[in-house]
Structure 1
Amino acid sequence: MNASPDSSLRPRPLRLAVIVLISLLFFSLFYSLGVWQIHRRAWKLDLIAKVHSRVHQPAVRAPRRPQWRAVNAAADEYLHVYASGTFLYDKQTLVQAVTDFGSGYWVLTPLRRDDGELVMVNRGFVLPEWRKQASPEQASGPVKVVGLMRMDEPKGAFLRHNEPAIDFWYTRDLQGIAAKRGLGAVAPYFIDMQGGPGVPPDPKTVPVPGLTRVHFPNNHLSYLLTWFALAAMTLVGGGLLWRDEWRRGKPAPLKK
């Protein structure tokens, strides 16, 4: 007489259903993340193409006050621009920075244009020794500034916050700095001054311009491959678990 298999070894429908549901849930999650990375990669490639196009175009006049409202990062950041005016050295601000030269500051100086408008200019990077000079080298009279348009940075750096009360800045918060210096209205962008040809100056004595890095990491291809691989592994792993659970209920073959 054939013995019936132990009921404890029979595949439990509820457990089989749970395996299927969990597998489908994780597959859907990983697959969705992979599709999202496809869109992110397309967006990043478009952004890189647009930015490089702006950087290498001939410089155009920086937006004047009537155009300020229309300025936005998506359309204007890293645009090659120029502006003429006079630097207000007594109103400049040092912003914490780290470059290949070491730890120091960006020198953010207001430029008063011929019609009185103010636009902030990042004149470059200096080391702490620059602050110790009795009278740092400064250009007198009207100047023409050429560089890249950058947007306001109102938020503090990661886990750090600007402290206007003690004049300590981690980001180029244009409106906050303007309020601290009593400048009134300033442009909603600043100009990253471009460097000249030849060897850069000594950041201990002169601001070093032209250190803006127009580089956007684009790791989205590796991310999307990772998510799709995890989605495939989820299906395979879920299928193996389902198979093992199903086999548990199959009775062993009877010996003759």
Structure 2
Amino acid sequence: MKNKFSLAVLLICIASAFVVLMGLGFWQLQRLEWKEAMIARVEEGLNKPPLSIDEIEALDAAGEDIEYRPAFAEGTFLHDAEQHYFATYRSRVGYFVYTPLVMDDGKRLFVNRGFVPMERKDASSRPEGQIVGRVRIEGLARTAPTEKPNSQVPNNDLTKNVYYWKSLSQMAGRAYDKTEFDTASVFLDAGEGVAPGGLPIGGVTRITFSNNHLQYAYTWFGLAAALVGVGGFFLFSLVRGSKENEVA
């Protein structure tokens, strides 16, 4: 009786582990489908002709996908109102600099000008990069999230001008000292290039993504198969040994 109980417990453990491993494998296949769709969406957006910010906003208002659409805007920067989004770039910790661009119609557009290392957060440490006068910015349109991605993301520290998620409303409220201005509903990530003096470094938008989910799925399915093989052999050995003991 004791041997039968032990065999039953072992069988349940093996079956439970098998279900978990198979579940992880199918989850990776779902992730693969999601990742391939995302990559296709990014590539589709990158291959479309550039649009003005007004055209981008019109598409966004109509429910069209504007992520990674090439876009452009012209105007003058409000450097004293730049906002800093905590980020890593090429293994360095620092910030993406979001600076309002005043366009011809007076509307403000937050432009992600690029990366600065943590010790160069203060704009006074990089005065050469604070471009004066009218500029034309070409880059990629990005949507503005309406809430934190998840509860693990810290709240934005407005006192220190450090953002952990890109709250457009908070950026606008802080940048203009709560004065209301017409602000574009999207962001513009500036394209590749380095500002005078070397900072900020543009072209920081991530447009290539690793896709190892199929490999991970094979790994989990392989472990499940190995578990069945090893566990089945072990159970068979125990059952045969139990029968031999009964005969003896």
Query: Is TM (by shorter chain) over 0.5?
Result: yes
Contact 2:111 2:187 in 1 (8 A): yes
The structure with more radius of gyration: 1
The yes-or-no answer on 1:152 pairing with 2:144 is yes
Contact 2:59 2:66 in 1 (8 A): no
Partner of 1:82: helix, strand, or coil?
Answer: strand
Give the share of equivalent positions with the same residue, in percent: 31
Partner of 1:250: helix, strand, or coil?
Answer: helix
| Runs (5+) with no aligned partner, structure 1 | 1-6
> Alpha-carbon deviation of 1:137?
3.9
Q: What is the CA–CA distance in structure 2 between the aligned matches of 1:115 and 1:64, rounded to whole Å?
A: 15
Contact 1:109 1:120 in 2 (8 A): yes
Q: 1:120 aligns with which of 98, 110, 115?
A: 110
Q: What is the CA–CA distance in structure 2 between the aligned matches of 1:23 and 1:254, rounded to whole Å?
A: 28
Partner of 1:208: helix, strand, or coil?
Answer: coil
> Alpha-carbon deviation of 1:163?
0.8
Q: Decide which structure has greater helix share.
A: 2
The yes-or-no answer on 1:223 pairing with 2:213 is no
Contact 2:72 2:136 in 1 (8 A): yes
> Alpha-carbon deviation of 1:171?
4.1
Partner of 2:162: helix, strand, or coil?
Answer: coil
- In structure 1, the residue matched to 2:174 is 180
Contact 2:84 2:163 in 1 (8 A): yes
- In structure 2, the residue matched to 1:108 is 98
Q: What is the CA–CA distance in structure 2 between the aligned matches of 1:56 and 1:162, rounded to whole Å?
A: 34
Q: What is the CA–CA distance in structure 1 between the aligned matches of 2:205 and 2:67, rounded to whole Å?
A: 12
1:141-185 CA-partner distances (Å, limit 9, x unpaired): 3x3321012233654996654210232334433221111123545
1:103-144 CA-partner distances (Å, limit 9, x unpaired): 443221112333333221012223445632567541313x33
Distance 1:85 1:136, change over 3 A: closer
Q: What is the CA–CA distance in structure 2 between the aligned matches of 1:77 and 1:178, rounded to whole Å?
A: 21
> Alpha-carbon deviation of 1:61?
2.3
Partner of 2:99: helix, strand, or coil?
Answer: strand
Greater mean alpha carbon deviation, residues 144-153 or residues 92-101: 92-101
Contact 1:121 1:191 in 2 (8 A): yes
- In structure 2, the residue matched to 1:211 is 204
Q: What is the CA–CA distance in structure 1 between the aligned matches of 2:52 and 2:129, rounded to whole Å?
A: 29
Report the number of matched residues: 239
Contact 1:77 1:150 in 2 (8 A): yes
Higher relative contact order (CA 8 A, sep 6+): 1
- Tell me how large the CA RMSD over aligned residues is: 3.3
Distance 1:159 1:36, change over 3 A: closer
- In structure 2, the residue matched to 1:3 is none
Q: What is the CA–CA distance in structure 2 between the aligned matches of 1:231 and 1:98, rounded to whole Å?
A: 37
Q: 1:39 aligns with which of 6, 11, 30?
A: 30
Distance 1:253 1:246, change over 3 A: closer
> Alpha-carbon deviation of 1:252?
6.0
